[in-house]
């Protein structure tokens, strides 16, 4: 079966499951001024006249970024994002939470990082989490997307509560981490800010640094809009801790806190089709899987002991087909969705 056919089937399944309808229909969206502040880049951060969107630019002089105006003790962080197009090798666009500026040696972090590519090759992305400075025990997963993220806006979200973490792409949960006692301080627990940045990571981002950023294509532009931030705003160094129980109750009452059976099926399909590295199956790095890992036999069979896809798996078959004949990717076009449902 061709790559086009696989993507088409996956896309139709998402539509039939009705995944656009529930978890993100009633978000409280904010203006830039209400929730965010410039971080770096000066003129490379361009706010829209209505202050509801912002463009982050990377040129040969600097990247750019913004930060939430507050730190949050648990929260829901979400934005519609459109990535740069054309040649983007060496470019990284990050949407993440961190407290590294406050807790330098014991920081927590939740990452969504988009990794650019050479012209004609798709963006890749990865998720990761750290707790209490556990950077040597990174918990990264890496994926492809079922659409071109430079063609239109898509919503990317991170939910963080005392009990679980969920990474979302649109209304598809792509990763869920359930807190276990065995994780101890590796589970993020201290107040974090939201960040978004674009920067030059030529030394590692594309094929391990083989392909560098080419500023003939600059400026590279990432666009953000429809910001949503829900959580308990706190001062991390205040003497009397803030009671955030009401905020946690609110987060756990929202649709994005629970994954229904249809969404769980979509998550399973996404991970089977588009995940190409998982730390849970990297037995070279972790002879014993970290405690939060849920080992799924159907997933495990696809990976080598390095946590990467076995030769001859989905990705390898796709490369062989692409050498014979270039096939178009399915794009997330609303009109196409309607046509597919007829």
**Per-residue confidence (pLDDT) for residue 280, from 0 to 100:** 96
Query: What would the pLDDT profile of 158-187 be if each residue is shown by its tens digit?
Result: 999 999 999 999 999 999 999 999 999 999
Mean of per-residue pLDDT scores for the chain: 87
| CA atoms of 234 and 70, how far apart (whole Å) | 7
pLDDT of residue 239: 67
Phi and psi based region of residue 280 (left: phi greater than 0; alpha: psi -120 to 50; beta: remaining): alpha
Complete DSSP assignment for 156-220: EEEEE-SSEEEEEETTEEEEEEE--GGGGGGS--S-BEEEEEEEE-TTTTTGGGTS---GGGPPE
Confidence of residue 236 (pLDDT cuts 50, 70, 90): confident
3 state SS of 47: strand
CATH number (domain holding residue 292): 2.60.120.200
| DSSP at 303 | B
What is the DSSP pairing of strand 109-115 with strand 91-98? antiparallel
CA distances from 253 to 44, 173, 177, 212 (A): 38, 17, 18, 45
Of residues 238 and 119, the one with the higher pLDDT is: 119
**Contact partners, residue 342, CB within 8 Å, separation at least 6:** none
Residue 238 is predicted with a pLDDT of 75
Average pLDDT over residues 211-218: 97
Contact 40, 64 (CB under 8 A): yes
* More confident: 48 or 9: 48
109 is catalytic: yes
Catalytic residue chosen out of the listed positions 33, 34, 104, 113: 113
Q: Which domain holds residue 141?
A: 3-341
Give tens-digit pLDDT for 277-286: 999 999 999 9
Element (H, E) at 246: helix 245-253
The residues pairing with 93 across neighbouring beta strands, listed in sequence order, are 114, 198
Determine contact, residues 46/66, Cβ cutoff 8 Å: no
pLDDT greater than 50 at residue 137: yes
Which one from 104, 109, 152, 292 is the annotated catalytic residue?
109
140 as an active site residue: the answer is no
Strand partners, 158: 77, 167
Predicted confidence (pLDDT) per residue in 41-94, tens digit: 989 999 999 999 999 999 999 999 999 999 999 999 999 999 999 999 999 999
Q: Long-range contact list for 254-259, CB < 8 A, 24+ apart?
A: 254/23, 254/76, 254/230, 255/22, 255/23, 255/24, 255/25, 256/23, 256/24, 256/76, 256/157, 256/159, 256/166, 256/168, 257/159, 257/161, 257/164, 257/166, 259/166, 259/173, 259/176
Is a pLDDT exceeding 80 seen at residue 29? Answer: yes
Beta bridge partners of residue 157, listed in sequence order: 78, 168
- Split into its structural domains, the chain has a count of 1
């Amino acid at each position: 079966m061709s790559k086009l056919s696989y993507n088409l089937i996956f896309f139709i399944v998402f539509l039939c499951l009705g995944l656009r309808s529930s978890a993100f229909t009633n978000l409280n969206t904010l203006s830039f001024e209400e929730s965010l502040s410039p971080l770096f880049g000066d003129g490379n951060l361009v706010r829209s006249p209505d202050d509801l969107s912002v463009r982050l630019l990377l040129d040969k002089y600097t990247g750019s970024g913004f930060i939430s105006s507050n730190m949050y003790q648990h929260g829901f962080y979400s934005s519609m994002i459109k990535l740069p197009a054309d040649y983007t090798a060496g470019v990284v666009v990050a949407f993440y939470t961190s407290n590294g500026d406050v807790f330098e040696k014991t920081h927590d972090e939740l990452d969504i990082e988009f990794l650019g590519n050479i012209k004609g090759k798709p963006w890749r992305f990865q998720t990761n989490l750290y707790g209490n400075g556990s950077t040597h025990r990174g918990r990264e997963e890496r994926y492809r997307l079922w659409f071109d993220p430079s063609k239109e806006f898509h919503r990317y979200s991170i939910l963080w509560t005392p009990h679980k973490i969920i990474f979302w792409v649109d209304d598809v949960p792509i990763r869920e981490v359930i807190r276990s006692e065995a994780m101890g301080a590796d589970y993020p627990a201290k107040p974090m800010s939201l960040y978004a940045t674009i920067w030059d990571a030529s030394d590692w981002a594309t094929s391990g640094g083989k392909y560098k950023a080419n500023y003939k294509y600059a400026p590279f532009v990432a666009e953000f809009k429809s910001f949503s931030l829900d959580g308990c705003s706190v001062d991390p160094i205040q003497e009397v801790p803030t009671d955030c129980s009401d905020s946690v109750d609110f987060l756990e009452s929202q649709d994005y806190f629970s994954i229904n059976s249809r969404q769980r099926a979509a998550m399973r399909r996404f991970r089977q089709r588009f995940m190409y590295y998982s730390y849970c199956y990297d037995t070279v790095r972790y002879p014993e899987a970290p405690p939060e890992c849920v080992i799924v036999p159907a997933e495990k069979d696809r990976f080598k002991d390095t946590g990467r896809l076995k030769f001859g798996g989905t990705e390898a078959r796709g490369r062989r087909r692409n050498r014979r004949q270039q096939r178009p990717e399915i794009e997330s076009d609303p009109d196409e969705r309607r046509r597919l449902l007829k």
